[in-house]
Every structure is written in structure tokens, then in C-alpha cells.
Structure 1
Amino acid sequence: MIRTGDTMDVNLTQLITFPSFRKNKIIRLYSNAVSDPYNITLQHSFLSALVQQSEQLGLSGQLFSAYIIYLLSEGNNLAAASIRQGKFPDKSLQKLLKIDMEVIYPYLKIDLLGDNKIIDIVNAYSPVKTCSNELYALLSQALSQTQSAEEATLCLLDHYKKFGSGKMAHYRAFYWNNNSGLNGIKYFESIKMSDLIGYDRQKQTLIDNTIAFIKNKPANNVLLVGARGTGKSSGVKALINEYYEKGLRLLQITRDQIKLLPDIMEHLRQLAGYKFIVFLDDLSFNETETEYKYLKSVIEGGISSIPSNVVLYATSNRRHLIKETWNDREDTQDELYRNDSVNESISLSDRFGIIIVYDAPNQDEYLQIIDSYLQKTGIKLDNKQLRIEGLRWELTHSGRSGRVARQFVNWYLGQYK
């Protein structure tokens, strides 16, 4: 027999601000079970579904309490939706949330009650795998420190404000699917700014602009241009890992999706509680391609402005993004035509308020990058060996760059460590 404490309101399916609870299978099975505590079939249906779901999610301990907290961490409720839209819940919504939390709160602290061994196991369950959801763990720890429903309400709001909810909480970076919209990138690269060696001035410019953006201060679209393998793309990815808890997210789009930017911008406008870097990697155009005209219009000159929660960051090996030909520079051309060609080729890059140039490292800088990477793994080569090995590797590859240095370090560690 499953029962609850005397002071607990068992009707979790009639919460005002948590409509998803009404549709949740396990919550409904639980309500059925406690409404007919002597029906063994209902009891076992609930316990079986709870154990199966807990195994799938990796929940442990008091399973029903853990599952309730997991649902809260998902943020499928009115308060979390308000924060996603950039509007902190007003007093009325906060009061409704508190009323609902007074119903939920006892379930966060009290075991299921019963008189059989199955319930004892469910109250101290150990799954095959552990839960990998970091946000669930953080919320569970925070709620365990609360002493009342009111404290739990404030704790929940703080959690949504800091980490987000739904897919915005689970993912740091996204790609755009033409049919389904935002899709999370599950295995986003965990690179940090401290992992990028050199280019301190370039990195600081990128950081300063991004911090201004996060703080709702004026910020520019950024073009990172220069030699291949110098860390342009890695620098943008590192920003997301550094400022994820400040609400920063990344959306990478392809060149073919530039035409969809107006629709993409409108979608992001509805997620005003987050800051998005729309990222175009390795961007360049041939003179016969027209996608760049759409990009020019979106950045500056279109009817609809870029949302205040969006900036565009792009990387390219070309300073002017649009390929120029010798014909564009031919002195025998009509002067007006030549000026038109030049103006067209630079008009796109001019729309980026900040242009950060990454030059290829010189020999000493290249060796310094290798040395820094090796020292992070506990290896220190003497200067002579470092020069011989590093320059030999460079000669068999495509010149000096941070990427080539990283590739050398990977090879060295694989051979000698």
C-alpha cells in the first residue's frame, strides 16, 4: 500500500503553474495509486514506471523526490517560460508559483510511505548508471538547503535565471534545422580561453565586446580574419564555455542558411532571456554568389533590425569576404566600374563593427605555443630539442599555426608519453 504523509496534498495533477504535471504519466499513475491505496495493480504500475524512468535518467536515492526535482529542472512551467522570454515573473505569477510549491515541497523532503519491501527499495534506489544531467544535480543540491516552500520558490527562480530551462538549459550551442528550428549540439567542444596560446590582444578584444553584449551595453558584430589554424573559431567557442552561466548561447548556421536569417532572427527574438552569438565559420563568397547580399541586408540596411539579444560573429581567411579578381584591379577598366567593384567587395566586411586580424605566428611564437601545450601535460623539452622537433614537424605540414602546433603536441604525446 502506498500512502502519503497526513499533511501532504496528493493532487499533483491540478497545479496552476505546472501544466506539464497534469500530462505526466508517472504523476498520473501516482495520483491513481494514492487515491486507491489498496489496489495492488495501481501500486505496481506506478512503482514499475517510476523505476524504469529512474533507470533511464540515472536517478538515485528517494526516487519519487528525485523525479519531481528532475521535472522542476526541466523548466516546463510558466515561470521558466517567462524567464526564457526575458521577463522575470511578476508578483502575481510568483504568488501562484509559491502556492504550487507548497503542494510540491513536501515531496522533496519525505519518502513514500508503505509497508512492503518494494517501497523501501524505491526510497533508497541505486541505478545502473548515474545521472549525467548537471543542472538536475545543481538544483537538487540547492533545494536540499531550503527550509520552506517560499525558500524553494526563490531557489527555483534563481536556478532558471542563472541556468535557463528546457533545451536552453541543456545545450550551450545549437544548429539550425530548416524544418525543426533550433537543435542542440550535444557534444560541444569544451575549449576555454586559457587553452588558446598567444593572440592575447585579439582574445581581449573579443572578450570585451562579448561582455558588453551580455551586459546589454552597445556591442558590435565581429569579423575574425586571418591565417588558417590561428584559433579564430576556437576563440568564439571558448566564449560560450566562459559565459554560459551568463545566458550566452551560440547558434552556428551554414552559408546556405543565410537566406533564412530573417526567420532565424525572429525566432531568437522570442528568446530574449538569452544572448545569442550567430556564428558563421569560414565565411567567403565568390563574385557570382548572391548570399552575401542577404547577409548585408540583415546586418545593416534591412527593414527589420537585428534583435537586441543577437550579434553576428564570423571567421574568414579573406579580409573582404568576397573574392576579388585581377580584373577588379585592372587600370584599363572604366574608373566608375572599377570603383563599383571595389566598393562591392568591401561593403560586407565594413558592416562588421570590429575586425580582428590573426596573423600567422613567427617561428619563436610557434615554438612557444608548442612549449605551452607540452608544459600543460607536464613535459618540458630543452630549447634545442624543441626547435629541432617543432621545425621538422612544420616542414612536413602546411606552415606555422596554432593548429599545426597542436597537431605536433598530439603526435609527440602519442609517441613518447
Structure 2
Amino acid sequence: MSFDAHDLDLNELIICRNLLNDEVISHIAQPADTPEEFRREAASCTARLIQLAETQGMGGSLLRTYLLYLLVHEKNLAAQAVEEFAKEGQIGGSLLKAFIHDLEILLPLLELPASTFLALPLLDEYTPTRAVASEASAALQELTKDAHEAKDYAIALLTYYRCYGYGEIATYRAFRWDKKEHRLAGIRHFEAQRLSDLIGYAHQKELLTGNTEAFVAGRPANNCLLVGARGTGKSSAVKALANEYYSQGLRLVQLTKSQLPSLPELMETLRGFASKRFIIFLDDLSFEESDTEYKSLKSAIEGGVEARPENVLIYATSNRRHLIRESWRDRLSEQDELYKNDSMNETISLSDRFGLIIQYYAPNQEEYLAIIAHMLKKQGIELTGEDLRIEGLRWEMAHSGRSGRTAEQFVRHYLGRVD
């Protein structure tokens, strides 16, 4: 198939016009007038492609790979429509035709060697130093591997948008709320922990995953409070959910106590990603009587004028069952009965708004040693029963008692001594 790169007219793009703002695509859309200028601009584009290939682990025909990267990372109307009208599962017929129209124009960039446009054969079959494919990028490669026509690419991309979204929502499993920028910021180095790494607490995990699976499937589910002894894996269990259900559209958003007044703004932002499910994660949550942030949380969970988005739940962890610190003064019978009841009701009203409360208890001796054995086995080390018991219990007595955190600290200590 012969093709003259000068015949490519990207200015006819409709849905994907923002691609024209990209350095590489704009160079291809408007080639330089002189050979010297073309070579200079082509070298700049090549540097951009190779830099992205090395940082993202991209390979193959780099122009094709790069264009697909842009189509799933840059905002376009088709991707936005999939998010907004998630329940329908598909975009309107006219919008689909416009999307296919654009992909028809872009098809030569997807199907022809990169050297056709940038005159460097090195880009046609590039092998990065380290091929690191995320789950989302691997899924995109799989969806598009047999695509050769514009309609094939359109179907593949729309499937990707429905499953993973676009931009940072597709790239990251967990986010924090950037209060200054009023936006979600992806957490690049998120813990790769899975629920199978958490030993014990089978009943607690069953309750947690049951509620989360109902939520991911679009069925009714409750806000959840994980409460109990310190170091028992409450936070780890919530973070593991983002890894377990990422491909099913679940994302985690961590919010600090000081950011609770931003909850309405955050929820309105998450409402715009209707095809995704979000857990707002409040870690190690507790309040003093003088704190006022808890009122923002009460209103957001239940009782505010604006309904909570159906694609959002709140999961919190705490060492306190009632979240707000109680004093003996609150319970003294000498107090006026009316005011005592008011104080008690205010104290428990927040935790009562979590429909699912999961209790975590400190592990017994056998559970504690099983956690240590599991962690060491993952590192290729198996201690005999007696050695494990002596070493593990000695560490426990010298530290803050039995917990998953204490077990993890012991394992780090033990591994640090191994040659």
C-alpha cells in the first residue's frame, strides 16, 4: 500500500481535534517547508517518542503506540460520553459515526510504519530498555491487536473507556484530593498489596469484599467503618480493594481529616465519572469534641441537601468505635438527663451513619506467628516451628504486643540480618 504523507489532512478531525495541540501530531499535520526544518522538527518528535517509550515501557511501531496512548490519556468527546452515560453502555449513533470518521483520518498513523512520517526506521520496531506494561496498557494492546479498520479501533477504544476510563482515571488505582488545584491527583507508587497477602480475619474480609462487590456491580451497598485494635490490617484491607477490583472500575480516593470540608466538591467531581466506582478512604479517623470537621462528614454520608453520588462510598478506619472522643463526664448520671442524652447522641451519631461496621481484634499467638511465617515464605524463608515461636514471641514482648504491624516489623528486622 503506497501512501504519501502529504495527503494526510488531520485538520479534518472532529472529536479528536485536541490531538492537533500535541507536538508530534502537529508536526505530522503541518510538515515543515524546508528539508532542514523538517529534519530538525522530526528529531524533536523522535526524542519525544523515545522518551515516552522508555518511561512507559512502550514498544513496537512507536507512532501507533503513541497515538493510542494519546487517545486514552487525552480527553475527547467520545470518552467523556462513555463516562457520563455509563448506564446506557454505549454512545449515541451520531457520535459514534463522528468518532469513526476521526479514526478513519488517523488510520494511516495507526497502520503504517512510523518511518513513513518521521523518516527514521528505528521507530518502526522499537524495543524499550524495560517493557513495563500496566494492566490498563496491556488491556489496550489486547483490544487493538486485531484492529485494522477505523470501526475496529472505535469499538476497541470504547470498550477500553467503559472498563478503564480515560486519562489519570485509567492510569491510577488510587488518588488523593489536591485541594489547591481542586482536582484528583493520581498516586504513582501505590502499594501492590492483595487481600491474599493479609493473613487471618477471614470473616472481616468476607464482609468487606461482599459489600465492595455489591457496590462494584451496581447493587445497594453501605458505607463502611473498620474499627478495632491498632496494627490489625484495617488500612491494608481497604487499600487492597483498589488492586482487587481495579479492572472492574473501582478507584480509591484518600482524604485527610483536614480536607473533609472539601467533600461536597470532591463528590461532585466523582459524579462526573459515572462508569467508575469510588471509595473515599478516611484512614485512622477520630475526632475530639472541639473538632468541627465531623459535621461535614455526617452531612456527606447522610442528611445533606444534595444526595451522595451513587458511584461513591465512604470507607473509614479508626481505633475508636464511636469516632468522637467520649469522656466520663458525658456519662455521669448527675448531669441533667436532657443534656447527657444530647451529648451521647451527638457522640454516636456519626458512626451510626456507617451501615457496615467491621470489628478487628488483636490476633492470638497462633495467628500472629502465622502472619510472620507467611511474610517470610514470600521472601523464600521458612523457619522451623520452634525457631519461629522463639524469635517471634521474643520480638513481640520487646515491642507493642501482637499485631500485623508488629509481625511486619519483625520480618523486616529478620530479613535485615540474613546474608
Q: Normalising by structure 1, what TM-score?
A: 0.92
Equivalent residue number for residue 340 of structure 2: 338
Query: Which of these residues, 19, 41, 47, is aligned with residue 46 of structure 1?
Result: 41
Shift of residue 135, structure 1, vs aligned partner: 3.6
User: Which amino acid counterpart does residue 46 of structure 2 have in structure 1?
Assistant: V
- Distance in 2 (CA, whole Å) between partners of 1:358 and 1:147 is 53
2:299 corresponds to which of 290, 297, 300:
297
Q: What displacement does 1:19 show?
A: 1.7
Q: Report the counterpart of residue 92 of structure 1 in structure 2.
A: 94
C-alpha distance in 2 between matches for 1:183 and 1:113: 36
**Residues 315-348 of structure 1 deviation map (CA, whole Å, 9 limit, x = unaligned):** 0000000111111121222222222221111111
1:230 equivalent in structure 2: 232
Q: Which residue number in structure 1 is paired with residue 76 of structure 2?
A: 77
Counterpart of 1:348?
350
Task: For residue 318 of structure 1, give the secondary structure of its aligned residue in structure 2.
Answer: coil
CA contact (8 A) 1:284 1:318 kept: yes
| Alpha-carbon distance between aligned partners in 2 of 1:290 and 1:178, rounded to the nearest angstrom | 18
| Displacement of 1:13 | 3.0
Match for 1:27: what amino acid? I
Among residues 34, 57, 60, which one is paired with 2:52 in the alignment?
57
Equivalent-residue separation in structure 1 for 2:178 and 2:411 (angstroms): 36
Which segment drifts farther, 310-319 or 59-68?
59-68
Deviation of residue 240 (structure 1)? 0.4
Q: Which position in structure 1 is the counterpart of 2:122?
A: 121
* 1:28 matches 2:26: yes
* Equivalent residues of 1:75, 1:81 under 8 A apart: no
Question: Is 1:139 aligned with 2:137?
Answer: no
Could you tell me how far 1:362 is from its partner in structure 2?
Answer: 1.3
Deviates more, 1:153-162 or 1:390-399: 153-162
**Bigger shift: 16-25 or 4-13?**
4-13
Q: 1:140 to 1:381 in 2, by over 3 A?
A: closer
Structure 2 CA distance for aligned equivalents of residues 297 and 68 of structure 1: 44
Paired position in structure 2 for 1:165: 166
Query: After alignment, is 399-408 or 57-66 more displaced?
Result: 57-66
Within the alignment, does 1:282 sit opposite 2:280 as a pair?
Answer: no
CA RMSD of aligned residues (A): 2.3
CA–CA separation in structure 2 for the residues paired with 1:149 and 1:184: 31
What are the Cα deviations for residues 109-143 of structure 1, in whole angstroms up to 9, with x where unaligned?
A: 21256699x53334344556656665445424432
Matched, 1:395 2:407: no
**1:393: how far off?**
0.3
Q: What's the secondary structure of 1:189's corresponding residue?
A: coil
How many Å separate the matches in 1 of 2:117 and 2:267? 57
Which one-letter code corresponds to 2:42 in the other structure? L
* Secondary structure in 1 matching 2:288: coil
Q: Secondary structure of 1:331's partner? A: coil
Q: Deviations over 1:156-214 (max 9, x none)?
A: 11111122110101111111111212111111111100010100110111101111111
- CA deviations over 1:233-289 (Å, ceiling 9, x no partner): 000100000111111111111111111211211121122121110111110011121
1:383 and 2:385 matched: yes
Residue in structure 2 matched with residue 323 of structure 1 by the alignment:
325
CA spacing shift, 1:259–1:390, aligned 2, 3 Å: same
Secondary structure, aligned partner of 1:241: helix
1:14-42 CA-partner distances (Å, limit 9, x unpaired): 21110212222222211222x85xx3034
Give the conservation status (yes or no) of the 8 Å contact 1:55–1:128. no
Report the AA paired with residue 20 of structure 1: N
Paired with 1:276 and 1:290, the residues of 2 have a C-alpha distance of: 25
SS in 2 for 1:203: helix
How many residue pairs match? The answer is 411
**Distance (Å, rounded) in 1 between the aligned partners of 2:337 and 2:193:** 49
Contact 1:225 1:358 in 2 (8 A): yes
Contact preservation (8 Å) 1:55, 1:129: no
| C-alpha distance in structure 1 between counterparts of 2:247 and 2:157, whole Å | 15
Task: Give the Cα–Cα distance (whole angstroms) in 2 for the partners of residues 114 and 183 of structure 1.
Answer: 37
Flag the 1:303–1:398 CA change in 2: closer, same or farther, 3 A: same
d(CA) in 2 for partners of 1:294 and 1:32? Answer: 52
Q: 1:251 to 1:383 in 2, by over 3 A?
A: same
Q: Which residue of 2 aligns with 1:372?
A: 374
Gaps of 5+ in 2: none
1:73 shift after superposition: 2.9
Q: Which amino acid aligns with 1:167?
A: E
Quick one: percent identity of the two aligned structures? 47
Normalized against structure 2, the TM-score is what? 0.92
Gaps of 5+ in 1: none
